[in-house]
Structure formats: C-alpha cells, structure tokens
Structure 1
C-alpha cells in the first residue's frame, strides 16, 4: 500500500466494548467513535487489532445486540472508500463473515504482513504468541474447536451470550492479570516472539495489541516492537505517516 501525501495510517486495539456493562462502556464507545470521526479526515487506512468487543459471537442469523455507534461509524468510513482491516482478539475470536459482508471489512485470524510505503509491518492481536501463555494456548484450542463452537451455537443466544459475557468480564477470557504492568523486556512475550520472527525474516515494525500497555521496544538497529495499549485506561493509538510510527494518546 502506498500512502498518499498528507495521509496517515491509524492503529487501535483493545476497546472491550460492553465491559463491564453496556452502560459503563458507553462513554468509552462514544470517545472511540469521536476518534474515528477525527482520523477519517486524513486516514489512508485503519487497522483494528482485536478485542474491539469484550465478547462477540456470530450465530448464523444473529449477532450481539448493541455497539450501534461503532458499527455505524465503521460502515460510514468503509463506504467512503477508506479501507479498514480487523484482526480478531481473544475476546472476539468468534467472528465469521458479518464484518466482511455488512461492512466490507476483512477479518484476519492470524498475524499478517503489510508493506506500507517501503516499511514492512507484521501486524496481529498477539494472543497466544511467544514462549509462554501456555494455559491460554490450551484454552484457545477449545474455544476455536469447531465441535465446541457448534455446541455453543445450539444454546439460545439469550443464554449463551449471558454466560459468555459473565465469563469474559469475571475471568477476562484468560487474558491474564499482568496486562497492566511492564514485565521487563526479557519477559515481554510479544517482544520475544518478534525477536524470534526476525531470525527468519526482517520486518521493520511489529504491531500488536492484547497487552493493554503502550510499549515501544527496540529489537535491532532497524526493527521495533509496538504495543498499542488500550481504550480502557490509556486511550492510545498508533500513527504511521509513511516514514515514522508514533504512539499517541487521545
């Protein structure tokens, strides 16, 4: 993707809309929609790196109630011709084709490379990557198993959604309790994962969410790892102007 002069690419992650309740998250949703309204003025593209919702599950003919402002704004931006790319997180990994068919937003379930101008990005949510997080990795196999997804789909949505939302808020769907503090570069799993990926191929910038903590870690002389933070405590986002990447606070 070549970025036109005067345009920028924006990155955001971990809104967890709906948590702890729809009413409590509404001010955060309005703030995020206001941000989308601002960045659409000069956006060449927008990357959303997962956990937009605290829980999301698509039945064949039913999607979760709520989030009208966010979905409407994303539809407006997409319809205007600005591409939006969505990477599922551990709270909204059950996305199917709703975003693609209704909003024209492609959905990715694994990290993906993007060449933006002459800068090679490696982009994803970040859950289950790196040397640790073994408990979540085992649980994710259950969450994504087609048989268990089929069983859950047979629950009435009023029952299934209530159970899932309770577990999502109370247990953070195995997000972990260390999201809010820096673990030290040697213990930051996504930084270690990025270093490992560098051994097989050079990428200029690794961008992830999941950690809920704004981070910028130098991996080598010409490569770095960025974590976008969240829209719960930090309200941080990333901006790439075609030459440099910057973390900003809204």
Structure 2
C-alpha cells in the first residue's frame, strides 16, 4: 500500500491535531510500503536549526520510526514548509523530492505536486512564491537568527490571513490551464495534490485529479484523511477514522 497525506499544518498549540497524526502513523502508516508527504506537514518551518525543539523532535521521531520499520518516506515541500532541508530529511529518514514528481504504479504514471504552483490566478502569491523559492533568498533568510526568522514568518502569516479574506475561492484554487500543463508536461493520467483544502476527485477529460484534505480533527465534523493506492492498484480516499469515501 502507498499512502499520501498533506496539509496537516502541525503546530504545538494544536494537541488534538498532533495526536491525530501520531495515530495515523501508528495505526495506518506502519503497514504501508511507502508514505508520501505532499507539503504543509507543518504550519511553518523556519529552518533545520529548529530541529531540536521538543515538538519537532516528537514529529521527526515518529517519522523516523516508520523509516526504521521499513516504510519508504518521501517529501514534497508545501508553501509553509519549503525550508525543510537535508538535516531534517536525514533525521526523519526521508527523501526530499522536487516540486513535481512522477510515480509509476500498475502501468499508470501518477504525478504528485503540492498544488500551490498551480494557483496561477493568485498573482500576488505567485510573485511571492517565485521570490522565496530562489536559493539566494533562502540563503539570506536562513542566515538570520532563528528568533528573527520566526518573527518574520509570524508577520507573513498574519498578512496572508488578511489577504486571503479578500480573495475569491476561484482565485485561491488551481486553474484548469495549469493542471492541463502538468498533465501534458509529465505525460501522466493521474494527479494527486493538496494545498487547496478542497478534497475531491475530478475527472479532467478522462484524467483523474485527486485532491487531498487538510486536517482539522477539532472541527465539527472532523476533517482530514489520506489517499491510498492498494496492492491491486485501486486508488481510494479515506477520512480520519479510516472510512473509505469512494
């Protein structure tokens, strides 16, 4: 079985969310062959020099236990945790992947992305994304003291929340043209992504686009879940309690 999750936005002040993730690791992921983390596992990541924080150690240790148990772990950066680097990968026992990755399974080519790069109508975000993904910008940012970086990130998060309040749902979703381009460029027939927090299965001219859910176990009803590819190649969507959606 191959599992896919994204958009957990783990943070220390949401213990119910942390426990939901740890249950997923213990009750679901340990029996998997591979686990793909498709971005925004953390609410934010200020740099690998924050690895020693007790909360981060708890998450990293849970991932490492999977790797040590034989589960292959793969990571695609999200818009909140794109500063995860080699030190984190080594500690967690996972492989960092580029922002677009193709998996071949049961004769299909499946493309994996986080999804933010396909929200091309959000012009302001796309400009910000282009800036912060530049190696020179990241090198300069990571050279700052950790406390300063966290302060900057807190300000960016506040600005982002205010900015999103004035944006339409259409602007914050992926665009058909961007999705079509990914399918064409990768010669794939299935896509799995997160970011939009709009879990669904879309048929795009005979090609399937699976959207992962964000995780909010505290909500009523609880939100969250994962996508699985079973040993026979069947792709299924699941809620937090493991129930199958389709």
Please give the residue correspondences for 1:81-92 in structure 2 after superposition, counting only pairs within 5 Å: 81-92=70-81
Q: CA separation in 2, counterparts of 1:180 and 1:83?
A: 38
Residues 226 and 179 (structure 1), Cα distance of their counterparts in 2 relative to 1, 3 Å cut: farther
Aligned ranges 1:30-45 → 2 under 5 Å: 30-45=19-34
For residue 205 of structure 1, report the CA deviation from its aligned partner.
Answer: 1.2
CA 1:174/1:205 → structure 2, altered by over 3 Å: closer, same or farther? Answer: farther
1 CA distance for matches of 2:141 and 2:228?
38
1:26 corresponds to which residue?
Answer: 15
Q: Summarize deviations over 1:168-224 as a string: whole Å, max 9, x none.
A: 2x234899459996x49xx95255423233345542210001011111100133x20
* Higher deviation after alignment, 133-142 or 195-204: 195-204
Structure 1 residue 133, shift from structure 2 partner: 2.4
Structure 1 match to 2:122: 133
Structure 1 residue 106 corresponds to structure 2 residue 95: yes
Give ranges in structure 1 of 5+ residues lacking alignment.
1-7
Give the direction of change, closer, same or farther, for the CA distance of 1:196–1:115 in structure 2 (3 Å limit).
Answer: same
**Pairing 1:45-194 to 2, within 5 Å after superposition:** 45-58=34-47, 61-63=49-51, 65=53, 66-129=55-118, 131-168=120-157, 170-172=158-160, 176=164, 183=170, 188-189=173-174, 191-194=176-179
Which moved further from structure 2: 78-87 or 107-116? Answer: 107-116
Structure 2 distance, partners of 1:206, 1:175, is 28
Question: Does the CA contact (< 8 Å) of 2:33 and 2:71 recur in 1?
Answer: yes
SS in 2 for 1:243: coil
Aligned partner of 1:4 in structure 2 is none
Deviates more, 1:126-135 or 1:239-248: 126-135
The reply on whether 1:16 has 2:17 as its aligned counterpart is no
Q: RMSD over aligned Cα, in angstroms? A: 2.7
Distance 1:81 1:190, change over 3 A: farther
Tell me, in whole angstroms, the C-alpha distance in 2 between the residues paired with 1:245 and 1:178. 36
Conserved? CA contact 1:114–1:122, under 8 Å: yes
Rounded to whole Å, the distance in 2 between the matches of 1:64 and 1:164 is: 19
Q: Contact (CA 8 Å) 1:130, 1:192: kept in 2 or not? A: no
Give 3-state SS (helix, strand or coil) of 1:67's partner.
helix
- Could you tell which deviates more after superposition, 226-235 or 153-162? 153-162
- Length-normalised TM-score, structure 1: 0.82
